[in-house]
């Protein structure tokens, strides 16, 4: 299980459905969607400025000027024609025909808005405007649409905005979205990546630093030992979260700073264990034998003592990775960890916290479950490691 998690974390940028860092891909309109929903593509839209010819010079020419927005819909996706019909008393009646091209991007039509008509103009179908003069029509209203213009209008024109077309499914939000519209699955994958990166690098650095100090303390003994061990005691007497919080508050956010804070908080544990293991090993006869064979201190420490201290250190380190992940999650939850644009699991939990009881629980719950599974997997591996490494030495 741990292997799967590590693979997911490493290749997350490649396999995540949506890149949560790409602000263009995120649509706030998709916020807080339930898990399993599909994001449908927006309907195609086109806007045209139609101008009708003078009544006295009725021409069939309908000039259409495009005023669409960015989504590219070709101009020939729609055909707008207007035919003058014999006017009733003084007015001019046009028969409008608005037809999207068959099979084109605007087929079938959905919503039509017509605005900019002169004051007393009327359409034969659709909703009358109350204020602002925007007529709303449905697709069914397009059949037999007639426009009546009052006689005193000159050059008439109106603005036509039509949305239509089939909706394509773009992306399925397997785990829903958070309150900023990010796909949770992608966010969790990337968050996992950050969490594991922070945890593993902080543990590796703390392990190296702590082991070196512990070995030096054990081998030198005397004052050096006392000094290093007092530092260790000092370090361990502070609550870890408090120290991490204060450090991060001082040096600011960022992944590098978080790693630094975690290293400072953790190294003491490894130093103490390394020293204990080294002192136990130094009392053994094979170290005396190495000394009597004339080996120097460096060789004895690196070749003889260190490899025999590794089992206990490795087991503790594996378990500490889990601890570091939790710690980092806590820090991010409190807002002092990684920045918002690079979410880690803790930050994801923090983001969704306000919605936990408001009907959108998945925003907080799902990253929390991912965190739980990761920590569990690491703990299981640590237990296995302990079983594998110990009996061989007891033989």
**255-282 vs 222-237: helix crossing angle, rounded to 10:** 140
> How many Å apart are CA 100 and CA 267, to the nearest integer?
70
Report in angstroms how near the CB of residue 275 gets to another protein at its nearest.
18
Nearer to another protein, 311 or 339 (CB): 311
Nearer to another protein, 168 or 392 (CB): 392
Nearer to another protein, 70 or 285 (CB): 285
204: Cα separation from own chain's centroid: 27
Looking only at the bridges linking them, the beta strands covering 92-100 and 145-149 are antiparallel
Report in angstroms how near the CB of residue 214 gets to another protein at its nearest.
18
Report in angstroms how near the CB of residue 226 gets to another protein at its nearest.
8
Nearer to another protein, 90 or 294 (CB): 294
Contact 196, 50 (CB under 8 A): no
Nearer to another protein, 63 or 299 (CB): 299
> How many Å apart are CA 310 and CA 316, to the nearest integer?
10
> How many Å apart are CA 363 and CA 181, to the nearest integer?
11
Report in angstroms how near the CB of residue 193 gets to another protein at its nearest.
35
Where does this chain bind another protein (CB under 8 A)?
Answer: 226, 284-286, 288-295, 299, 303-304, 307-308, 392-393, 395
Report in angstroms how near the CB of residue 310 gets to another protein at its nearest.
9
Nearer to another protein, 359 or 391 (CB): 391
Nearer to another protein, 168 or 395 (CB): 395
> How many Å apart are CA 33 and CA 37, to the nearest integer?
7
Residue 104: DSSP 8-state: S
Give whole-number Cα distances, 210 to 138, 204, 276, 308, in Å. 72, 10, 12, 16
Report in angstroms how near the CB of residue 288 gets to another protein at its nearest.
5
Instruction: Of 263, 42, 68, give the one whose Cα is nearest residue 169.
Output: 42
Nearer to another protein, 39 or 304 (CB): 304
Q: Could you give the strand order of the β-sheet that contains 92-100, starting from the edge strand earlier in sequence?
A: 78-85, 92-100, 145-149, 122-123
> How many Å apart are CA 280 and CA 293, to the nearest integer?
20
Go through 140-167 and write b for each residue having 16 or more CB atoms within 10 A of its CB, e for each that does not. Answer: ebbeebebbbeeebeebbbbbbbbbbee
Report in angstroms how near the CB of residue 387 gets to another protein at its nearest.
14
Report in angstroms how near the CB of residue 285 gets to another protein at its nearest.
4
> How many Å apart are CA 350 and CA 57, to the nearest integer?
67
């Amino acid at each position: 299980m741990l292997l799967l998690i590590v693979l997911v974390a490493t290749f997350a940028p490649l396999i995540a459905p949506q890149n949560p860092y790409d602000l263009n891909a995120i649509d706030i309109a998709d916020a807080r969607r339930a898990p399993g929903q599909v994001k449908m593509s927006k309907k195609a839209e086109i806007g045209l400025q139609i101008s009708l010819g003078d009544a006295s010079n009725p021409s069939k020419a309908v000039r259409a000027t495009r005023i669409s927005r960015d989504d590219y819909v070709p101009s020939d996706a729609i055909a707008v024609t207007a035919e003058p019909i014999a006017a009733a008393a003084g007015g001019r009646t046009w028969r409008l025909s608005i037809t999207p091209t068959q099979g084109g991007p605007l087929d079938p039509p959905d919503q039509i808005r017509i605005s900019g008509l002169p004051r007393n103009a009327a359409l034969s179908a659709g909703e009358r405007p109350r204020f602002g003069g925007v007529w709303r029509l449905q697709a069914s209203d397009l059949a037999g649409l007639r426009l009546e213009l009052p006689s005193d209008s000159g050059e008439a024109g109106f603005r036509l905005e039509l949305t239509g077309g089939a909706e394509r499914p773009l992306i399925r939000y397997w785990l829903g979205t958070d309150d900023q519209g990010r796909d949770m699955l992608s966010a969790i994958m990337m968050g996992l990546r950050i969490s594991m990166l922070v945890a593993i690098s902080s543990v590796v650095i703390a392990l190296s630093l702590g082991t070196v100090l512990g070995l030096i303390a054990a081998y030198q003994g005397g004052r050096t030992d006392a000094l290093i061990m007092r530092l260790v005691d000092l370090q361990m007497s502070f609550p870890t979260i408090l120290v991490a919080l204060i450090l991060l508050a001082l040096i600011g956010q960022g992944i590098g700073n978080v790693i630094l804070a975690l290293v400072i908080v953790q190294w003491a544990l490894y130093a103490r264990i390394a020293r204990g293991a080294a002192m136990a090993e130094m009392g053994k006869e094979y170290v005396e034998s190495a000394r009597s064979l004339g080996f120097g201190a460096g060789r004895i420490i690196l070749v003889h003592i260190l490899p025999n201290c590794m089992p206990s250190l490795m087991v503790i380190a594996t378990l500490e990775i889990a601890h570091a992940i939790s710690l980092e999650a806590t820090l991010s939850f409190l807002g002092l960890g990684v920045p918002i644009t690079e979410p880690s699991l803790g930050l994801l939990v923090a983001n969704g916290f306000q919605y936990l009881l408001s009907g959108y629980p998945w925003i907080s719950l799902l990253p929390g479950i991912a965190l739980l599974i990761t920590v569990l997997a690491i703990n299981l591996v640590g237990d296995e490691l302990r079983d594998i490494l110990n009996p061989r030495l007891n033989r």
